[in-house]
Amino acid sequence: MQACRATGFGIWPTLSEPVQVRIGILNLLGEATITDIATRFGAAMNAMGAGIDMAPILAGMKQHYQQKVAAE
pLDDT at 18: 85
CA 10 – CA 2 distance, rounded (Å): 8
Where residue 6 falls among pLDDT bands split at 50, 70, 90? confident
pLDDT digits (tens, 9 = 90+) for 10-28: 667 778 888 777 766 656 6
Q: Are strands 12-13 and 21-22 parallel, antiparallel or unpaired?
A: antiparallel
| H-run or E-run covering 44 | helix 31-47
Q: pLDDT digits over 12-71, tens only?
A: 777 888 877 776 665 667 888 889 888 988 998 899 899 999 999 999 999 999 998 888
